[in-house]
Amino acid sequence: MAETPLVGVIMGSKSDLPVMEACTQQLEEFGVPYELVIASAHRNPAKVHEWASTAADRGLKVIIAAAGKAAHLGGVVAAYTPLPIVGVPMKTSDLGGMDSLLSMVQMPSGVPVACVAINGAKNAAIYATQILGATMPEYGQKIANFKKAMAEG
């Protein structure tokens, strides 16, 4: 039987997938079970609502939300779940991702979305695994090993 996903990865468009492969690849390297869904806060709001509002009950512990342009996805997901959200602002052709970054990071007080760099897909996976590692020692160990390997070059 497949493991229950611990991290939910949601993105606004399949056009985000090539960048977000750096995220899913890193989650796989850490052995973190995840689920992936493509749903836009603007184009598929009902799907986003259903997915986000049931995420915690399905066993997810952290959500990674990637979106570009007027990137409201992380904030909308945050509105519907008590889980921590890590946002990934997508680089865009018009404004280079500053549009995504600012619309994702400037959340109102009380509704946080942690935000990595523009196209920071790999860091989102590392950060989500760090959150898991705070309470699940096997993932804490994966992060410790990762940092040790990085320090050794």
Contact stretch for ligand RP5 (CB under 6 A) within 5-13, 47-55, 114-122, 134-142: 5-13
Question: Looking at 9, 23, 90, 115, which residue binds ligand RP5 (CB under 6 A)?
Answer: 90
Q: How far apart are CA 138 and CA 80, in angstroms?
A: 29
- Considering beta carbons, is residue 16 or 55 the nearer one to ligand RP5? 16
φ, ψ for residue 131 (rounded to 5)? Answer: -65, -45
Q: Does 17 bind ligand RP5 (CB under 6 A)?
A: no
Q: How far apart are CA 132 and CA 146, in angstroms?
A: 15
Contact stretch for ligand RP5 (CB under 6 A) within 27-35, 61-69, 120-128, 133-141: 61-69
Question: Looking at 5, 7, 10, 16, which residue binds ligand RP5 (CB under 6 A)?
Answer: 16
Strands 62-67 and 114-115, by their bridges, are: unpaired
CA dist 37 → 8, 15, 111, 122 (Å): 8, 13, 22, 17
- Considering beta carbons, is residue 61 or 69 the nearer one to ligand RP5? 69
What is the CA angle 52-94-88, rounded to 5? 30
- Considering beta carbons, is residue 118 or 131 the nearer one to ligand RP5? 118
Q: According to CB under 6 A, which residues from 92 to 151 bind ligand RP5?
A: none
Question: Looking at 7, 10, 60, 67, which residue binds ligand RP5 (CB under 6 A)?
Answer: 67
Alpha helices in the chain (DSSP H): 17-30, 45-53, 73-80, 98-105, 121-133, 137-151
- Considering beta carbons, is residue 68 or 133 the nearer one to ligand RP5? 68
Binding site for ligand RP5 (CB under 6 A): 11-13, 15-16, 40, 67-69, 90
